[in-house]
Amino acid sequence: MGPRKNRQLGLVGSALDSALSRLGLSGRLAQQRAVTRWPEVVGPQIAASTRAVAVRDGILFVATKSSTWAHELIFRKKAIMEALERELGRGVLTDIRFQARGFSDPVEPEEADGLPAPDRSEWSQIALTDADKAVLEEALEGVSDPDLRARLERVWVDSLRIRRWKEAHGWARCTRCGLPHRGESELCGICRPRGARA
């Protein structure tokens, strides 16, 4: 493509951006990109078990195929938000909500790695370490409502047990965020730059 065509495309893009801003649609368009770009941002492993459903009031709603995945992604939320900010820009999203809904059309990961998937009957028996208990206490420190505290504690305990199960079954530990992941890479699919191979 020649310089003249590039300049024309640049002018069209600028005009389109300007028109969307005047109509108040640029923010909504960026939010919609969070839904459409979800698989590329989180990588094939997470994309195979999740669906970005919608964005409402700056909150991205993500359906997971199981409560196990919803718990896992709570631990990865900060890294996912950072990856989405790199893709969409700052301030487009304010939060992500993971909902265990299940779905019937799972996307297969690009490569099967042979690692076992967590099963509730196995991970629910894992005892937490003293370090896990300290993390749990710190996380719940400011929660005074007893019902909310009990619910949050169940979620955190399940998430910590799943994490320990994965570590015991050969999942690699991400050198950036510290969470277990499938693959040979030092970084998990969220922390790894987009386009880099696992």
Percent of the chain with pLDDT over 70: 74
Higher pLDDT: 30 or 110? It is 30
Please tell me the predicted confidence (pLDDT) of residue 84: 92
Average pLDDT of the chain, as a whole number: 77
Average pLDDT over residues 157-173: 84
The answer to pTM > 0.85 is no
Q: Decide if 167 contacts 179 (C-beta within 8 A).
A: no
Please tell me the predicted confidence (pLDDT) of residue 112: 42
Judged by DSSP in three states, 11 sits in: helix
pLDDT digits (tens, 9 = 90+) for 43-88: 888 888 898 888 888 899 998 988 888 888 988 899 999 999 988 8
176, two tokens? 């950036």
One-letter amino acid at 25 equals: L
pLDDT at 20 over 50: no
Average pLDDT over residues 82-106: 83
Please tell me the predicted confidence (pLDDT) of residue 3: 60
Measured distance CA(84)–CA(190) in Å, rounded: 10
Q: Decide if 66 contacts 51 (C-beta within 8 A).
A: no
Band (pLDDT 50/70/90 cuts) for residue 106 is very low
The H-or-E segment that residue 100 falls in is strand 95-100
